[in-house]
């Protein structure tokens, strides 16, 4: 980073740890935010390096010479070409071990990069909003739906789910007794 010329640009791939870590990671983040314009962080799918590692990874884009004022985040989706539409799997939970990432998988990000705008996958954070240089900012558009049930409704739902589970286990037990005699 220090070897960059003034106004020089660079990118680096980092695991999630340095986004929120302390000690050396905190020093790195402080330097990145105060001495460089850390303008964009691409959050890669968590499974991108599976099976070698399941550690979530990011691409940091920065320029030397001026401090960071705001950081754009972009949450990369699992590419359509390898996503199985029949399975209801979150974009972040897919194994790339059989279909590695290819250059065209970044086309959507490159298009967004030309004229950055907020959307379901992109959001902007002011450096003033980042406390203690914690760069692990989650996508505000990626919210888990909450189910607002009364305690009575909740316990009823849990009991109903347990009854279904017991019924399935009963069916499996009958099948085992039928197929595998004692």
pLDDT digits (tens, 9 = 90+) for 83-112: 655 554 444 445 555 667 788 888 999 999
H or E element at residue 27:
helix 24-35
- The CATH classification number of 9-133 equals 3.40.50.150
Instruction: Give the domain ranges of the chain.
Output: 9-133, 145-182
Task: Give the residue from 12, 6, 60 showing the smallest Cα distance to 38.
Answer: 60
pLDDT 10s digits, 25-56: 888 888 889 999 999 999 988 767 766 767 78
68-87 mean pLDDT: 78
Provide the strand spans (E) within 56-127: 57-64, 70-75, 122-126
Write the CB contacts of 169 (distance below 8 Å, at least 6 apart in sequence): none
**What mean pLDDT value characterizes the chain?**
82
Q: Give residue 55's pLDDT.
A: 78
Residue 57 has a pLDDT of 86
**Mean pLDDT score, 114-138:** 87
The predicted pLDDT at position 171 comes to 84
């Amino acid at each position: 980073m220090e070897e960059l010329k003034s106004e020089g640009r660079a990118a680096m791939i980092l695991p999630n740890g340095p986004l929120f870590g302390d000690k050396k990671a905190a020093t790195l983040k402080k330097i990145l935010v105060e001495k460089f314009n850390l303008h964009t962080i691409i959050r890669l799918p968590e499974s991108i390096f599976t099976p070698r590692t399941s550690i979530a990874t990011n691409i940091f884009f920065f320029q030397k010479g001026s401090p960071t004022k705001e950081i754009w985040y972009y949450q990369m989706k699992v590419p359509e070409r390898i996503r199985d539409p029949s399975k209801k799997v979150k974009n972040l939970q897919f194994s790339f071990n059989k279909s590695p990432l290819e250059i065209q998988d970044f086309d959507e990000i490159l298009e967004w990069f030309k004229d950055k705008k907020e959307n379901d996958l992109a959001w902007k954070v002011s450096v003033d909003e980042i406390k203690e240089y914690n760069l692990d900012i989650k996508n505000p558009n990626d919210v888990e739906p909450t189910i607002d049930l009364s305690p009575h409704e909740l316990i009823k739902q849990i009991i109903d789910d347990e009854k279904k589970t017991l019924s399935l286990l009963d069916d499996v037990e009958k099948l085992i007794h039928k197929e595998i005699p004692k």
